[in-house]
Amino acid sequence: MTPAAFLKLALSLPEATEASHFGQADIRVRGKIFASPGERAKGAAVLKFTPEQQQMLCEAEPEMFAPVPGGWGAKGWTQLFVPKTDAATANSALWTAWRNVAPKTLQKLHPGPRA
């Protein structure tokens, strides 16, 4: 998957918008960050997972997922290496991160695929 395709997929989620925080691009739903584009080193995007989701994904697909180094990673923020990811995996990961921050009322309107 290319970074451009990943960004297009991320922005296709309900009410997803592109913004920035501390000079880094991010993707939000109703003002809450759930992802970043695949613009970091090695084509990494960053996704907002719970620590349990992060552990499961990193163990299942270690070439695609890795904790963000440091304290943010301990809170569940996870790198997704976009060039090593297929569209189905990226879509599932983005929906998971989106659900982790989207308001419950918005989730009811847009249930999306389940991981």
C-alpha–C-alpha distance, residues 79 and 81, integer Å: 6
Distance, in Å, from the CA atom of 98 to the CA atom of 17, rounded to the nearest integer, reads 12
* Domains, the chain, ordered by start: 3-109 (3.90.1150.30)
**Predicted TM-score of the model (pTM):** 0.93
pLDDT tens track of the chain, all 115 residues?
999 999 999 999 999 999 998 888 999 999 999 999 988 888 999 999 999 999 999 999 999 999 999 999 999 999 999 999 999 999 999 999 999 999 999 999 998 776 5
Token pair, residue 60, equals: 């299942």
